[in-house]
Amino acid sequence: AATFLTRTSNDPRSLIIVLRKLADTGHADPSDVLALARAHLSLGEVKMAHRLHDSLSDARKQSAEGLELLAQILRAEGRTVEA
């Protein structure tokens, strides 16, 4: 839903605002949730990124994007061996 914004925005805070509104109104798709998690992660908000990752379906968690996000989260948590 927010593909253009996620590809062009350099401001993670603005991206979070827009994606959160989509999520709160039920209009966010799994790609939006992944982008929201990455934006939180870029601001050092690791716990929020992890919560968003956990909210994804099992299939989405096992996708390439889901696994890459999990690896980024684990690295941010200092769990490089697991990443």
Kindly report, residue by residue over 19-40, the tens digit of the pLDDT.
Answer: 999 889 989 899 999 999 999 9
pTM: 0.84
Output the six-digit token pair for 76.
Answer: 């941010």
pLDDT tens-digit profile of 55-69? 999 999 999 999 999
Alpha carbon of 66 to those of 14, 25, 50: distances in Å? 22, 23, 11
